[in-house]
């Protein structure tokens, strides 16, 4: 049960409380314990601020993404050290899945183009200071469609876009 006063919320260690009374702008919504601010007012303020400060938002999102991915990488590395057999199993499974999506009809030129895509991603990462990924346009393991690991199915995009895209595919009509 949520507290009814800020005093109760502070005493109980809650992040929010609900008074049932409208704020100065007329919203009847939860309030932040830390500031007493109405959450609806806060959300409206953030929409306006983000619209007026796109560069700050972009910088913040990039910083958050880098910090988040660094934490995840460190966690995976630590988990891998503590669970070497499981890590090897997952790695081999991933390699096998990719190998199964690597057609035998690829030429030497095709293989070279794939290598170039990965080199381009590494070069862009070094040049721009943020992560670039080699993305499969049609995912190797999509829910509705599965692609192949060929140069015609690869694109080099910023890491944030690739993570946002996840394992999805949007058909162009």
Of 121, 78, 75, 114, residue with least CA distance to 98: 114
Q: Which region holds residue 13: left if phi is over 0, alpha if psi is between -120 and 50, else beta?
A: left
Contact 68, 75 (CB under 8 A): no
Say which residues have a Cβ less than 8 Å from residue 165's Cβ, sequence separation at least 6.
135, 157
| Predicted local confidence at residue 115, as pLDDT | 92
Taking residue 156's Cβ as centre, other Cβ atoms within 10 Å add up to 19
Per-domain residue ranges of the chain: 6-51, 54-100, 105-173
The pTM (predicted TM-score) of the whole model is 0.47
Is the predicted pLDDT of residue 165 greater than 80, yes or no?
Answer: no
| Predicted confidence (pLDDT) per residue in 107-162, tens digit | 999 999 999 999 999 999 999 988 999 998 888 877 778 888 899 999 999 988 88
Contact 153, 136 (CB under 8 A): yes
| Predicted confidence (pLDDT) per residue in 11-69, tens digit | 999 999 999 999 999 999 999 999 999 999 999 999 998 899 888 888 887 777 777 87
Contact 131, 142 (CB under 8 A): no
Banded model confidence at residue 99, pLDDT cuts 50, 70, 90: confident
| Predicted local confidence at residue 133, as pLDDT | 92
Specify the 3-state DSSP secondary structure of 87.
helix
């Amino acid at each position: 049960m949520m507290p009814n006063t800020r005093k109760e919320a502070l005493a109980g260690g809650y992040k929010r409380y609900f008074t049932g009374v409208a704020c100065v702008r007329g919203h009847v919504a939860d309030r932040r314990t830390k500031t007493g601010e109405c959450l609806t007012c806060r959300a409206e303020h953030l929409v306006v601020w983000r619209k007026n400060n796109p560069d700050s938002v972009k910088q913040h999102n990039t910083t958050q993404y880098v910090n988040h991915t660094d934490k995840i990488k460190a966690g995976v590395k630590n988990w891998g050290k503590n669970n070497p057999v499981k890590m090897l199993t997952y790695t081999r499974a991933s390699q096998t899945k990719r190998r199964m999506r690597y057609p035998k009809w690829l030429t030497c030129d095709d293989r070279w183009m794939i290598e170039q895509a990965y080199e381009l991603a590494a070069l862009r990462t070094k040049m721009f200071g943020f992560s670039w990924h080699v993305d499969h346009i049609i995912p190797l393991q999509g829910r509705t469609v599965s692609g192949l690991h060929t140069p015609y199915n690869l694109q080099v995009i910023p890491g944030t876009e690739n993570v946002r895209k996840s394992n999805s595919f949007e058909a162009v009509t």
